[in-house]
A = this chain, B = another copy of it.
Amino acid sequence: MIIVMKPNASKESIAQVSEVITSAGLSVHLSQGEEVTIIGVVGNKALLDPCAIEVNPAVEKIVPITESYKLANIKFHPTPTSFPVKNTVIGGDTMTVMAGPCAVETEEQLISIAHAVKKSGATFLRGGAFKPRTSPYSFQGLEEEGLRFLKAASQETGLATICEVTSSHAIEAAVSYVDMLQIGARNMQNFELLKEAGKSGLPVLLKRGLAATIDEWLNAAEYIMSEGNERIALCERGIRTFETSTRNTLDLSAVCVLKEKTHLPVIVDPSHATGVRGYVAPLAKAAVACGANGLMIEVHNNPAKALSDGPQSLDFAQFDTLMEELKPYIALSGRTLK
Q: Which of A's residues lie within 8 Å of B, judged by CB?
A: 2, 4, 7, 29-36, 38, 40-44, 46, 49-52, 54-56, 60, 63, 65-66, 68-70, 75, 132-138, 166-170, 186-187, 189-193, 209-211, 213-216, 219, 222-223, 226, 239-246, 249-257, 260, 273-274, 276, 278-279, 282-283, 285-291, 303-311, 328-329, 332
Cα–Cα, bound, A309→B251 (Å): 22
Is A168 a contact of B166 with CB atoms below 8 Å? Answer: no
A208–B226 alpha-carbon span in the complex (Å): 28
Given contact pairs A311-B55, A332-B328, A69 touches B135 in the complex (Cβ within 8 A) = yes
Inter-chain contacts of A191 with B (CB < 8 A): 132-133, 136, 166, 186
Q: How far is the CA of A241 from the CA of B42 in the complex (A)?
A: 33
Residues of B within 8 A of A33 (CB): 29, 40-43, 65
Q: Are B288 and A282 in contact (CB under 8 A)?
A: no
A138 nearest in chain B by CB position: B68
Residues of chain B with a CB closer than 8 A to A135's CB: 68-69, 219, 222
Which residues of B sit under 8 angstroms from A240, Cβ to Cβ?
211, 242
Contact A137 B68 (CB under 8 A): yes
User: Do the beta carbons of B35 and A65 come within 8 Å of each other?
Assistant: yes
C-alpha gap A253/B253 in the complex (Å): 12
Q: Which residues of B contact A256 (CB under 8 A)?
A: 274, 276, 278-279, 282-283
Chain A contact residues, majority secondary structure: mixed
Interface residue from B189, B278, B308 paired with A260 (Cβ < 8 Å): B278
- On chain B, the residues within 8 Å of A42 by CB distance are 31-34
Chain B residues, Cβ within 8 Å of A276 = 256
Residue in B34, B75, B246 whose CB lies within 8 Å of A257:
B246
Q: Which residues of B contact A167 (CB under 8 A)?
A: 168, 192
Interface centre among A52, A249, A274, A329 (most CB of B within 10 A): A249
Q: Which of B35, B49, B190, B285 contacts A186 (CB 8 A)?
A: B190
Docked pose: A190 CA to B186 CA in angstroms: 7
User: Complex Cα distance A304/B169, Å?
Assistant: 41
**Residues in chain B near residue A190, CB distance under 8 A:** 166, 186-187, 190, 193
Residues of B contacting A311 with CB < 8 Å? 51, 54-55
Interface centre among A31, A305, A328, by most chain B C-beta atoms within 10 angstroms, is A31
Residues in chain B near residue A75, CB distance under 8 A: 7
Which chain B residues border A252 with CB–CB below 8 Å? Answer: 250, 252, 283, 286
* A-B contacts, 5 listed (Cβ < 8 Å): A2-B38, A134-B189, A136-B222, A243-B254, A283-B290
Contact of A134 among B68, B132, B193, B273 (CB under 8 A): B68
B residues less than 8 Å from A329 (CB atoms): 289, 329, 332
**B residues less than 8 Å from A43 (CB atoms):** 33-34
Measured in the bound complex, the distance between the Cα atoms of B210 and A306 in whole Å is 30
